[in-house]
Structure formats: structure tokens, C-alpha cells
Structure 1
Amino acid sequence: MQITGQNYIGGARSAKGETIVYSVDATTGERLSYDFYQATPEEVDAAARAAQEAYPIYRSLSAEKRAAFLEAIADELDALGDDFVQLVCQETALPAGRIQGERARTSGQMRLFATVLRRGDFYGARIDRALPDRKPLPRPDLRQCRMGLGPVAVFGASNFPLAFSTAGGDTASALAAGCPVVFKAHSGHMATAEYVANAVVRAAERTGMPAGVFNMIYGGGVGELLVKHPAIQAVGFTGSLRGGRALCDMAAARPQPIPVFAEMSSINPVVLLPEALKQRGDTVANELAASVVLGCGQFCTNPGMVIGIRSPEFSAFLERFAATLNDQPAQTMLNAGTLKSYTKGLEHLNAHPGITHLAGSAQQGNQAQPQLFKADVSLLLSGDELLQEEVFGPTTVVVEVADRAELLQALHGLRGQLTATLIAETSDLETYGAELTAVLEQKAGRLLINGYPTGVEVCDSMVHGGPYPATSDARGTSVGTLAIDRFLRPVCYQNYPDALLPDPLKNANPLGVARLVNGTTTKDALS
């Protein structure tokens, strides 16, 4: 496939700008041969307006037609060849096996949302029938279901070039909700983005979607124009706390504020309980080290903090954990910018008087060395910000607490997280489980026992979200079918004639969906 580097606007390609941006080989740092045209303000406007024009057409399509579109995207992604996989590897330094697995996850997400559309629960259909004889006042006929918000701006993530990018979870859930998308390609893998955008466009053409259902723009600085555009009604973002917060502030300052669903920063604490360390301390050390360095630590669920109660077993664990991390090889990161941020984060940890370096070779060259630090518990109890800042890469910080009471204090000091983990035996859970869970469920979106947070299953029950700063809105998730909720809003129809009602609310229930009718869930038609 020839890469043109042109923006995707309303079903056509556009290259009106003079500013050229480019991709690099993530391993060598050498510039790749592709030129990409940074979108002009006029092109950003055109992309947003194309999505706005497509919206009334696209949202009125049946759920079945939108499902067919998502499945067509999945088929196109699965059909991309070895040349595509090699290109993604070149832009990201990720291995081919990881890319093949991530592509399967990306196409799987599309098919999962197609299933959601067909089963119809996303409508949230509710009906309260008229009570004309009710005293002192009659009740009108009231019917509610949900519809898409409107055009959504989606920002690609650096660490998942497929699953959280062009056709990733935000795009899939927005399209499922009936919302056209304007995608801002990530600068770290623009050639990858073009391959995937072509797949989306081919699927749109095959299934007869409106031309502006999917648009994509390149370049720096264009994201602000996009978020501030009046046609955009919501934003999906995965990235840094600084970037996500900037988008939230921009969106809130608009004449019409809009929601930003940003997944931003998490240190994903892992709590090691006493009996587990007695029974399998060496095993936990090895497993946890593997989780820390997995994918060069470039996961938003990387375990960035380990908390344990002072004991001989914890000291033995820490010795084994440090030795294991010392044995881990350096790895190439996604891009030079990610390595620079990682190195800067390590410098801040090394410079802090309350933090001690325990393991890891000095950073050198263009690869990331795994690192281990130990922080005084007083930093967590006092709310020290550095201790809670995510260092994106293969590093973690250990905190030793004196006893159960100090453990609870430390956990109360945590900010919002994507995940929180307990490594525990049955007796640990009997002693600590209820009390710790009561705290952690206020701090994180996903609680784990005897697992490691790296690895996020895409399914109905998954939550990939959490209180700020893990995300900008703790009520949502960016992984799993509940992600569609972010881009829907409820609409109530009062005393509407049946012919004008949306299909989920019509008396005959032509879609056969479950509805809450007068407080009872049923699929029955209404007479």
C-alpha cells in the first residue's frame, strides 16, 4: 500500500498544508521515508463539519447496519498483511507477536460492540405507561432510550498503536453509539494510522456509511482546534496526565462545555500480605518483576508501587525482587520522547531524599533499564506528589509499612488508580480482606486478587477507569462494552404517537429488546 500522508476528510484525502511531519524508526531513530501533511485550521474545521453532516444520517441507521459496519472494519483489519505488521514494529519497536495479538484484540473489540448493538441493552429502554385516571394528577405516557451524543474527537495512544488508536476502543465505542469520529493520529505511528484508516474507510464504503463517519488528521497543535470546534460533542483520550488535563480544561472553557473521557495516570499499587510472602515470596518476586518489565513497562496498568508490611519475609522478598529486576535486560521504548520522559522520571526519584535506589543499571544509550526504588512510608502518608506520579516504563517503587494500621493509612493516602491488587492467601483475606477492599474500591476501577494488573480483558464486565487522576470521569471505562455509555445520552418522549417513537420504544417492540415497562423488565409487546 502506498502511504500518501494526506488527511482523511469526508471520505476524501486532503493535503492543503505546507507543514510536513514524519515518522521515525523507533529502534534507530532514523526518519522514515513517509511525509505527512499537518492539517491546516481549515482542514480541521472541514473534518469536524464532515462528521457533523454525517451524524444525523449515521445515528438514524439501524443498530444492525452499524453492527455490519463494525464487523467490516474487523474483517479489514484482520486482512492486513505481514507488511503492515512489519511497519508497526518499525514505528514502535514492539515485537511482531505483540502486534499480531493487539490486532486480534482490536478487531475483536469491533466484533464485540457489534454484538452489543444486536442485543440492544445499550438503548436502556424504559417505558412508564400513561395513568389517565391517577389522582390527584394523571400521568402522561413517558418513554426513554439513549442516543449518540454527536461527533467525537479521539486521540491516539502511543503505547497501543492499534487497540487504543485509530480503530481502537474509543473509536469502536463511539461508532457503536452512533457517533461519527474525527481521529487525531498519534505522532509516534502515523504510517500505522494510515494503514488502519484505509481499512476503516474501505469498510465504510462497503457497508454504505455516510462519507464523514470517520475522519483523520495529522500534526501537532491540531488537537486543540479539534477539541474547541463547536461540532465536536465529546473527546476520548489515552495518554499523559498533563495532556489529558489540558484537554479537559479546553473542553470546559468552551461556550458549550463537552465531556472529556481521558485515561491519564496510574501507579496501580500491589499490596503484599504476610501469609502470601511466607508461602510463596520468591514466586511473587519473580512474577511481579515480570509484570513490571512486560512490554518495557509501557502499560497504563504497570505496577508502579508495591506495598508490604515489615517482616523477615518481606525483607527476603525485597532481596529476591531486587535481584530479579537486576537480571532483566534493557529494552527499546516506543520512541525517543518516551525514553526521555522515563529518564527524567528516574532522575526525579533518584534526587528525592526520601527515596532510595535499590536495583537497576544506570541509564545509557537508547534503551530503558529496569529500576527499583524504595520510598519512606511518610511520603505516602503526607501526600508527596512525586511518589504518586506515574513513571512510564519498567520501574516500580516499594513502600514498607510498620503494621496493619499504617497500611490502611498508606492506602488512604493514594490518589485514584486504574487498578489495585492484593497478593494474599486465604488467611490473609480473612484477616485483611474486607477492610482493605473497603478502602481500595474507593481508590480504583479494578480490584485484583492474586493476579497482576498488566493485561486487560475486553468483555462486558471489564472496567478500565477509576477516580482522578486515573481518568477524568470515574463513571466510565475505556475497555469493555460499558465504554459505549460515554457517548450516549438519554432522551425522554412524552405522549408521542407510536409511529414517531424510536424502534426500541414502539409498542410492538420490533427489535425484541428487553425494556423496563412500569418497573418490570420484559420483552413483551404492548397492546
Structure 2
Amino acid sequence: MKFTPHGKHLIAGEWVASSETFENEPVYGPAVAFSMGTVELVDRAARAAEEAFWSYGYVSREHRAGFLEAIAEEIEARGAQITEIGCQETGLPEARLNGERGRTVGQLRLFATTLREGSYLDIRHDAALPDRHPLPRPDLRLMQRPIGPVAVFGASNFPLAFSVAGGDTAAALAAGCPVVVKGHSAHPGTGEIVAEAIHAAILRTRQHPGVFSMVQGGKREVGAALVQHPDIKAVGFTGSLGGGRALFDLCAARPEPIPFFGELGSVNPMFLLPEALQARAGALGKGWAASMTGSAGQLCTNAGIAVVPEGSAGDAFVAATAEALKEIGPQVMLTAGMARAYREGQARFDGRNSVRPVYTTTSEGREARPNLYEVSAQTFVNDHILSEEVFGPLSLVVRVADGAEMTDLARRFEGQLTATVHMDEGDGALARALLPVLERKAGRVLFNGFPTGVEVVDSMVHGGPYPASTNFGATSVGTMAIRRFLRPVCYQNIPAEILPADLG
């Protein structure tokens, strides 16, 4: 059956309309009016989340695991409808959205498994030593506890995996924290049907209705009200550096500052070492072209910069990349605003005499075509604009004279989500010199691969030093993501009958 959005907010179990509306901008199909978010709705949702915390934050791990699994089942039950409206709103291909839905339900089920296993609680026990001199030691136990209601901002580029029921929401619910989502205006219909799935899971598993609310996109004051609400205790965000930094500053300026877990962007540099280039320049160029243009380059792990030694092997790599890009046609971007920002980003490169165009195109409307440029290492170091992310299929080659200049350039990068090294057996010495530098710069260091794509597993880190993210000790992907919404509590000499069940 076709899904027709009703355009309302979900506030503590009730579908609510507001007086002001906005229309989505689908790639095809009719536009639909959606209720605009308001400060009053944020207040209602946050207060309901605080009320829900007193029950949801203290239920058993099995109860929360069952809730996560029920959300996954309800999303799957709406799978075809989610894909249909998601394609209409974003222009993403059906296969991409089906895969993203699989990732979304997969991480919900992974977190359910993690809850049952229990090691995320980091339980520790130091038994009492009543006979210790000169003073006895008390009985001490430690466990991670949920922090309270969490605000989640839906991402523009992942309408499922980083949005209404995405990684931040799943991690917070796993931790025992109710969630208030601010839906992204780029795909409100997709957000609505996923919110319906969560609402159905709430009813099935008899949760407090305040455990989840969704306020559709609104003006900036709505987002500001959400992060400043006294009942909100942490924020999860994926988006632009400018928007994220503004919200981060609001969180820090509160009377009670709260953690802001923001993933803000990255150029994800690749370092191509001489032996690897000599052996497989053509294959590396073709692989990079495919990676940088996947999903029209609208991925936070898109490899936007390749650091390449001067010489014939490097020339061959650049030529192979350009040839492969010529085979890539125009792709629809997620929003008209993103397409406009992409063209503006390209104009910054075109306006610099120090930048050599390798392969350039013209993009129009909501479509984007790939572009490739080249600069010297010195030019790159002297012009900070060249190191800023252009969200879309635009990439830059930075040429270095030798391994020493490559290592020095690596030290000059800002914080990144990923850093990649392509090497062969003879590149070991240079790779060993690079690794200590790159692990200080990035949350994930790859060898002989491309960073696009993130595995949802125990060992994944999706975060990094600022400006890649606002908290270098956290990840927004993988089971460690749950720890963002927990805090350690020490229990001293508490009688066994009063201890939390997980400590008994």
C-alpha cells in the first residue's frame, strides 16, 4: 500500500499539527505540506522524555533489547513504503536506500545483542577490606548508568541510518535514554514513516509514550530550544561544521553545560606511497573515482584529497582518475541547497590561479558532475580554503616531492574521520613514519582500501579530532556509541537488596 504522509509531529504518543507548514522538495512526485516545528512542541516533547526516563531508564536490559528489536521489525514491515518515499524525497537509488535500511535495522539488533551481553556496563567491584590498616576499605562497585533524555538531529545525507531511528537514536535508547528527534526538512516524509514504526514498537512493547518524540523541521530557534532545554542531557548531531559548531556553543553556554556529540565533516585524506603507485596507479585511480562519486560524493567519509608523490607514477594515477571520472554522469543531489553549495565550492577552486584543473565539468540545477583539481603541497599549506570540505563529487590531488614532505603535510591536516594509506611491501618505512601522525589525526586509519562505507561492528570508530567531531573520545557508529549516553556511578557499601539488578 502506498504511504501518504499526514505531515504531523509525534509528541509523546500523539500526532500533532502546528499552524505553520513547509513543503518538502521531492525529486519527483507531488510536494507535501508538513507541520513546522515550534519551541512549544520541543518543550512538550522534552518534558515527556524526562517523565519517561523514570521508568525507561530503570527497566531491564532485556526489556530495552526487545524494544529495539520491535523497532527493527516495524521498520522492515514498512520497507517498500520507506524506500518509495525515500527515493522520491532524496533522489537516492532504490538499492542504496534498501541497503541503508538494512544497516539501520542491523544496528538496532546489534545493540539489542550488546544489551543482553552486558559488558558495555563496565561493571567493576572492589570488595570490602574491613581488616585493612590503618583504615578499612569499603565495598565499592561501579556501573555505567543512563544520563537522561537525548536530543538527536536527523542528518541530511542518511535519511535512515543517521536520522529518526539511526545510530544516535538507537544508541540512546539502548543506553536507557528517551529521545527527542528533530527531523530533517530534506526528507520529512521518510522521517514520518520511520517515526510511525517506532510509535508502533512503543505500543507493542508497552513503553512510556514519552520515550520517543519527533519534531519536524523548523526554524533555527527550534533547534536552539532543543539543545537548551533543561531536561535534555546530551545531543547527537551529524551535519555541517557551521551548524554543528553553533549548537555546540549553545550546549556549552547553558547554565548546566551538556555534551554535544557532533560529527561535522572531514576531507578524509589518502596517502599514496611510491611502491604502491608504481605497481597499480591505474587501479588506484579507478578505485578512487568510484569511491569519490558514490552517492554523488555526499558521504561524510568521502576521500576528498589524495596526497601523491611527483613523478610519472603519480601522473599515471591522476590521469587514470580523470579518465574514470569521464564515465560518471550527472547525479541528483539530496537537496537543491546542497547542489547550490557544491557549485559554490567548485567556484572557489576555479577562482584560484594556483589550482590546476585536471577534469572539470558544469553542474546545473539539483544535479552534480564530478570535478578533479591538483595543487602543490606548498600551495595547499598556504591556502586553508583548499582543505575545507566540498560536499559532493569534487576532489583534490596534492603533489609532494618525497616521503619527508608527505609526512610533514600529514602533520598539518586538521582532525579527520578517516585517513588512508595505500602501500606495497617496499613502502614499509614510510608507512611506519606516517602511522603515528595519522592516528593522531583520524578516528579510523585504513590501509589499501577506500574509506567510503562504515561497518556497524564492535570495533568501529566513526569520529575523530575536531573538526571531524566535537568529542574525540566518542564514536557515532558501532557498539561503543552507546557509551556516549552513559556515565559511571560508584556504589559504596550499598546493601545487596538495594543494589541495581545488574550489580547483584
Shared fold (TM-score, shorter chain, > 0.5): yes
Match of 1:183 among 181, 191, 195: 181
Residues matched between the structures, number: 500
C-alpha distance 81-301 of structure 1, shift in aligned 2 (>3 A): closer
Distance in 2, Cα, partners of 1:158 & 1:466: 20
Shift of the alpha carbon at 1:352?
2.5
Matched, 1:316 2:316: yes
Q: Give the letter for the 1:72 counterpart.
A: A
Residue equivalent to 2:110: 112
Cα deviation per residue 1:344-370 (whole Å; 9 max; x = unaligned)?
111112113332221021223431010
Residue equivalent to 1:422: 421
CA RMSD of aligned residues (A): 1.2
How is 1:20-35 mapped onto 2 (pairs within 5 angstroms)? 20-26=21-27, 32=31, 34-35=32-33
Residue equivalent to 1:80: 78
How is 1:110-509 mapped onto 2 (pairs within 5 angstroms)? 110-218=108-216, 219-221=218-220, 222-382=222-382, 384-428=383-427, 430-506=428-504
Residue equivalent to 2:10: 8
CA contact (8 A) 1:380 1:410 kept: no
Shift of the alpha carbon at 1:327?
2.8
Give TM-score, length-normalised by structure 2.
0.97
SS of the counterpart of 2:362?
coil
Q: Give the letter for the 2:26 counterpart.
A: D
Distance in 2, Cα, partners of 1:191 & 1:98: 17
Give TM-score, length-normalised by structure 1.
0.93
CA contact (8 A) 2:339 2:365 kept: no
Distance in 1, Cα, partners of 2:83 & 2:417: 29
SS of the counterpart of 1:284?
helix
Cα deviation per residue 1:92-120 (whole Å; 9 max; x = unaligned)?
00011111111111000100000010000
SS of the counterpart of 1:160?
coil
Gaps of 5+ in 2: none
Shift of the alpha carbon at 1:504?
2.2
Distance in 2, Cα, partners of 1:373 & 1:203: 49
Shift of the alpha carbon at 1:433?
1.8
Distance in 2, Cα, partners of 1:97 & 1:432: 39
Distance in 1, Cα, partners of 2:380 & 2:175: 41
CA contact (8 A) 1:265 1:389 kept: no
Distance in 1, Cα, partners of 2:105 & 2:500: 29
Distance in 2, Cα, partners of 1:487 & 1:426: 42
Cα deviation per residue 1:264-309 (whole Å; 9 max; x = unaligned)?
1100001111111111111111111100101100100001000011
Shift of the alpha carbon at 1:77?
0.8
Residue equivalent to 1:520: none
Distance in 2, Cα, partners of 1:255 & 1:333: 40
Residue equivalent to 1:36: 34
Distance in 2, Cα, partners of 1:486 & 1:338: 29
Q: Give the letter for the 2:132 counterpart.
A: R
Shift of the alpha carbon at 1:39?
2.6
Residue equivalent to 1:52: 50
Shift of the alpha carbon at 1:91?
0.2
Residue equivalent to 1:92: 90
Shift of the alpha carbon at 1:31?
5.6
CA contact (8 A) 2:335 2:366 kept: no
Distance in 1, Cα, partners of 2:472 & 2:166: 20
Residue equivalent to 1:510: none
Shift of the alpha carbon at 1:44?
1.1
CA contact (8 A) 1:161 1:189 kept: yes
Gaps of 5+ in 1: 507-527
Identity %: 50
Shift of the alpha carbon at 1:38?
1.4
Q: Which runs of structure 1 show a deviation greater than 3 angstroms over 4 or more consecutive aligned residues?
A: 379-382
